[in-house]
Chains A and B, each alone.
Chain A
Amino acid sequence: MILTLALRNLFHDRIRLGVTLVGILFAVVLVAVQLGLYAGTSKMIISMVHQAKGELWIVPYGADSFEGSGVLTGSERHAALSTPGVARAIPIVASFSKWQRPQGGEQLCVIVGVDAADGGLVPWNIVAGSTEALKLPDAVAIDRTYYKDLGVTGLNSTAEVRGSRVRVTALTHGIRSFTTTPYIFTTLNRGRSILKLPPDAATFYLIQLQEGADQGVVQAALAKRLPDVEVITKAEMKRRSIAHWLFGTGAGAALIGGAILGVLVGTVIVAQTLYSSTKDHLNEFATLRALGSSSGYIHKVILAQAALSAILGYVLGMSIAMTVVAISVDTSFPIIMTPQLAFGLFVLTLVMCAASATGAIMKVMKLDPAMVFNR
C-alpha cells in the first residue's frame, strides 16, 4: 500500500513529476559525464604506463608524466642490470616533437621509441600493419583516430618529424592522449634519432624483476645505486601522471566540481518538488495519521516517492548518459562508464533523493492530525 500510495501521489501531478525527473536526470547526466570524463581521461593519461610491462620505473629526478620527462644519460642501465633481482632494464624514449604534415602545417606529437623485442612496451590494438613492420626504414605506427591531425590517409603515408622522414607501417585504434597530441610509435634508435638524442639516451627504464625478487628490496637497492635519478613503482608513475595532467592543470578539479554541482542542483530540485507534493497531500497525510498510522508509515510513503523518482530519473538519465558515452568514444575526451561507476551513480541518486526527502518529512512531522476536521 505504501508503494501504491507513493506511485499514485507521484503520477497524480504529471507536471511536478516531470520537473522532478528532469532534476534527477540533469544531475545523473551531469555527474555521469563529469565522472565518466574523469575516468576516461585518467585511463587515457595512464594508458602508456599501464601498458608498459615493468614493475619499477627508473625516471629522471622529478619526472611527472610519461611525455614530459627529462633525459637519462644511459649509465643507469648497467647499474640497474647489475642490481640483484633485476631481470631486464628496458630503455624507452618518449618526448614531444613536431610532425610536419605532407600538405604543410605542423602538429605537436609525442615520439615513443621502444624496441618491441625488449618486451617492455609495444603498440596495442594494431588494426593494420604489424610491430614487425616498425623495423622497416623510417617506420612509425600511428593511431587511426588522428588521421586528420597528422594529415595522413593510412598505411604507407609519409611525413617528416623534425626533418626525419617517416612512413606509416602500422595502425592502431584507440591509443589517444589526454593532451590531444598523437603518440607516434617507432623503434628505440629511430626515436633517439628523431628526437636528436645521444645514442645511449633514454627517458625511462622499465625494470622487470627476476622470478621471486622482492619489489621493495630491489627498489631500495636501485635507489641506493642511482642517487641522481628516481626509482618509482608503476602505481606511483600513474599517480604522478594523473596528478600532473588532471590536477596540475585544474581539469580534475573542474570535473569533480561539476559533479558536485550536479548533485547539489539535483538535490535542490527534488527537495523542492517533493516538499510541494507533500504540502499538496498534507490533508491525506493527516487522514492517515487520524486512521492511526505510525509516523514511520508516513515517512515511508514520502521516502518511497523519493526512491521511485530516483529510479525513474536514474533510468532516464543513464540512457542519455550512455548515448553521450557512445558519441564520445573516438573524440579527444572519451567518457567511460563502468559497472562500478553506474552502480555508484545509482546509489548516489538514491542518497540524493533520500536527502531531498528531509524537508518533506520535517513538514509532516509537524502535522496536526486535528486538521482532518472541518472547523
Chain B
Amino acid sequence: MSMQPIVNVRDIVKELGQGAGKVRALKGVSMSLNPGELTLLMGPSGSGKTTLLSILGCILSPTEGSITIAGEDTEGLSPEGLADLRRRHVGFVFQSYNLFPTLNALENVRLALDVRGERYADTVIKAETALREVGLANRLRSFPGNMSGGEQQRVAVARALAIRPSVILADEPTAALDSENGHAVMELLSDIAKDESRAVLAVTHDPRTHAYADRIIRIEDGKIIDDERRLTSGDNVTRYDLKRKRKLHA
C-alpha cells in the first residue's frame, strides 16, 4: 500500500454538547484510510466511533485538528463547501439504512446522483448499474417497505456506490441485520474495497465481521488504542502484522 491515503486526519479533538453536558468525544485522533482496503473501526459503545466517522465524512467539523480528503483540505470550509465535498467524495451507509420510504430502490439511488446535478439519463444508467452490483437487478421498482432489511441495506450500499466515491463510510451497517444478511453486506463492502481507488471504513461491534477486514482500528474513550493490518489477503487463516500493531495510548 504505497498509494497516497484517501482520507487523512491529524490530531482530531471533538467536543460535543454544551455547558455541563459537554463531552470530549475524540481526544486527539490521527489516522489515514488507504485505497483498496476495508478498515473496521471497533470499540465499545460511546467510545467515539460515530463521531470519528462523522468527521471523516465531513458531516461534523472537528474542534481541533485537520482533515484532508482526496487531497482536499477541509480547513475553513462552510457547511455548503463540506456538502460539496461529501457529494463528490463520500458515500455513507447507515445502521438504519435511511432510505426514502416514498421512493423505490432505483429512485433512492438516483437521488444521490441527482443532488450532484447529473442528467436524468445518466442517473438511471448509473443507479441501475449500482443496484446490479449489489445483486438487486430484479428489485429496481421495489419500495423500501416491501424489502427485507438485508435488501434495504444493499440499496443503501448501492446508493453510496453509485457516485463512485473516494471513500465509503458505514456506521454499524450490519447491526440491524441477521447474520446471513450481515455477512452478505460485509462481503459486498469488502468487494467494493478491492477497487484500488477507494477506501472503505465500517464501524462494527460484530466479531464475525473480522474475516472481511484488511485492517482493524480499535478506539476507546476517544483515543485509538490499536491499529492492526492483515499480512496477506486471501488467506483462509486471518493473521495480522503484529509488528505494526501500535499502542497509541499517550
Contacts and interface: CB of A to CB of B under 8 A. Distances in A.
Interface of A: 1-2, 4-5, 8-9, 11-12, 283-284, 287-295, 297, 369-370, 372-375
Interface residues of B, number: 35
Given A8-B103, A370-B54, A373-B54, A1 B111 contact: yes
Contacts of A2: 114
What are the 6 A-B residue pairs with the smallest beta carbon separation, nearest first?
Answer: A292-B87, A8-B102, A292-B86, A293-B115, A1-B114, A287-B98
B205 interface: no
B111 A373 contact: no
Nearest to A365: B79
A294 B92 contact: no
A373 B107 contact: no
A12 B60 contact: no
A288 B83 CA distance: 10
Given A8-B102, A284-B100, A292 B94 contact: no
Contacts of B54: 370, 373
A370 to B, nearest CB: 5
A373 B115 contact: no
A5 to B, nearest CB: 7
A105 to B, nearest CB: 66
Contacts of B244: none
Interface of B: 50, 53-54, 57, 59-60, 79-80, 83-88, 90, 92, 94-96, 98, 100-103, 107, 110-112, 114-116, 123, 159, 171-172
B98 A283 contact: yes
B1 to A, nearest CB: 27
Contacts of B59: 290, 369-370, 372
Contacts, number: 81
Question: B50, B83, B110 — which one has the most chain A CB atoms within 10 A of its CB?
Answer: B83
Nearest to B165: A292
A288 B111 contact: yes
Contact of B80 (A4, A287, A294, A374): A294
Contacts of B103: 4-5, 8
Nearest to B120: A1
Contacts of B171: 373-374
Given A291-B112, A293-B115, A372 B94 contact: yes
Nearest to B58: A292
Nearest to A12: B102
Contacts of B87: 291-293
B83 A289 contact: yes
Contacts of A288: 111, 115
B50 A294 contact: no
B94 A373 contact: yes
A289 B102 CA distance: 17
B163 to A, nearest CB: 8
Contact of B88 (A11, A292, A294): A292
A269 to B, nearest CB: 23
Given A374-B94, A374-B171, A290 B86 contact: yes
B86 A1 contact: no
Given A5-B103, A291-B92, A373 B86 contact: no
30 contacts: A1-B114, A1-B123, A5-B103, A5-B111, A8-B102, A9-B102, A284-B98, A287-B94, A287-B98, A290-B59, A290-B86, A291-B87, A291-B92, A292-B83, A293-B83, A294-B80, A294-B83, A295-B80, A370-B59, A372-B59, A372-B92, A373-B50, A373-B54, A373-B95, A374-B50, A374-B94, A374-B95, A374-B96, A374-B172, A375-B50
Contacts of A375: 50
Contacts of B107: 1, 4
Contacts of B172: 374
Contacts of B60: 370
B90 A292 contact: yes
A289 B172 CA distance: 20
Nearest to B85: A292
Contacts of A9: 102
A290 B159 CA distance: 12
Given A1-B110, A292-B85, 10 more contacts: A5-B100, A8-B102, A12-B102, A283-B98, A291-B87, A291-B159, A293-B83, A294-B115, A372-B92, A372-B98
Nearest to A10: B102
A55 to B, nearest CB: 60
A284 B111 CA distance: 11
Contacts of B95: 373-374
Most buried by B among A9, A11, A372, A373: A373
Nearest to B171: A373
Contacts of B79: 295
Contacts of A292: 83-88, 90, 115-116
Scoring A1, A283, A292, A295 by chain B CB atoms within 10 A of each residue's CB, the highest score goes to A292
